[in-house]
Amino acid sequence: MGDFAGALLKHLARHPLPRLTLAGGFAKLSKLAAGHLDLHSGRSQVDLDRLAEWALAAGGDAALADAIRGGNTALHALQLARAAGVPLADVVAAEALKVAEGLVAGAAEPILIELLVVDREGVVVGRAGRV
């Protein structure tokens, strides 16, 4: 999939398969969760304001949201949320799942999608859906 999540999902809408697991880094999947279909850094950016709002919705406080908004990277947002015990990666996975499911909704056959968010060490830090 790489940077081309939208192209992959649009292709699968025309050529469905029963199950799909999308796994990617927090920053890439944050972009998909925000509705970006081309995840390349030159064509889409991580929305720190949106990550801050999702952190609030996941139980974070205003100080955490402000720190995320004031940060420079998605990695920093993830680190802040994890330190605060806020499951931001699960929220990103759930939001990315909604986008992915919307793109394949017109497929001739249903596609079960699972989203896995991994950190830089390859550890799964967030997930949504079931396959």
**Cα–Cα dist 111/51, whole Å:** 27
At 131, the pLDDT band (50, 70, 90 cuts) reads low
What are residue 19's phi and psi, to 5 degrees? -140, 150
Q: How are strands ordered across the β-sheet holding 19-25?
A: 19-25, 112-118, 124-129
At 1, the pLDDT band (50, 70, 90 cuts) reads low
The pLDDT tens digits of the residues spanning 36-49 come to 888 877 878 899 99
| Number of domains the chain is built from | 1
Give the mean pLDDT of 63-72. Answer: 97
Domain that holds residue 120: 5-129
**Cα–Cα dist 96/115, whole Å:** 7
* Percentage with pLDDT > 90 across the chain: 83
Whether the per-residue pLDDT at 110 is higher than 80: the answer is: yes
